Amino acid sequence: SQASNTTSVTQYINSPVGLFPAPLAADTSFTVVEEICKKFRFLGCFIAKAIMDSRMLDLPLSEAFYKWMLGQESSFTAQDLLHVDPVMARSFAQLADVAVKKHQLDCEPLLTGKALQVGIESLTLEGGGSVEDLDLDFTLPGYPYIELKPHGRDIPVTIYNLDEYLKLVLDWTLVTGVSRQIEAFREGFNHVFSLTSMQQFYSHEMDMFLCGANNQKWDIKELVEHCRPDHGYTHDSQAVQFLFQVLSSYNTTEQRQFIQFVTGSPRLPVGGFKALNPPLTIVRKTVETSQYPDHFLPSVMTCVNYLKLPDYSCKEVMKEKLNIALQEGKQSFHLS
């Protein structure tokens, strides 16, 4: 969520590292802050209720958000920027490297006076150029309206105040700029049940706990053990064996589409197919004797995780028909 004084257009954000609150300036108006915090209170209630009801959420949150959620915000380091803004994290690391070199020169007893000054001012970034060449000021990168300190937009960043600048960027990105939103989230969560009961988890476990398993290759052995053929099919049926071969070849996107199609959720629960309840059941889709199974698409009953699969003539036809069904059945019920 991001406050804007110039537009009310709804923006949709996609982040490969998960969602994290956008920072708010210290002088953001009470009305704007309260409107944003209202959304975070609702989000806290929503996630807590989903956990209470054992519901999975297709809501990718940053690991840094989970640290806040678990009360671990005091452990934030520069590495956590990678879970918020990888581009900023890379730039931050380059500047931090220069700051370390300056500190090493400051601690060198043989360098004093003019020699120390020359050494410090000759420090350059990895790609060449000095810190001053970047023309930075004490505002938060990407948010020029957020000053890191009073009158920050009028204070240039130099090699001599770089360390202070980096500390303020880290603090405003991960703590000060988002604390009001996170506290509102905690308030909403605690309205359902105590957030302290979640502290048995590590931050990197929370995504799987809330959103289910992801990025796991499906192997045929797992499918055979935990999927149930029924009503016309057995594990020895050709169509079932074709299906397992097709599923084991799926990439992450295809896995999401298939699970969404069959269960209504884009991810399996923790534990994969073994934990799916009811288990994935593959039944034979009946067609008239005068009709050809290759002319039909598979259909589903998402409430009981049923896949109604025609007895296709070959694996290639099955894969083609499944792909059509995954696209045509997306966010609709006409193949249910």
How many angstroms separate the CA atoms of 64 and 162, rounded?
24
The answer to whether the beta carbons of residues 193 and 44 sit under 8 Å apart is no
Closest Cα to residue 102, out of 121, 128, 115? 121
Name the helix (H) or strand (E) containing 300. strand 299-301
Angle CA 248–251–255, to nearest 5: 75
The answer to whether the beta carbons of residues 299 and 335 sit under 8 Å apart is yes
Sign of CA dihedral 136, 139, 142, 145: negative
Residue 196, classified by CB atoms within 10 Å of its CB into exposed (0-12), middle (13-18) or buried (19+), is exposed
Strand order in the sheet with 228-230: 228-230, 281-284, 306-309, 299-301
Q: Helix, strand or coil for residue 277?
A: coil
Is 303 in the active site? yes
Question: Which among 45, 211, 227, 303 is annotated as catalytic?
Answer: 303
43 φ, ψ (degrees, to nearest 5): -60, -40
Catalytic residues: 303
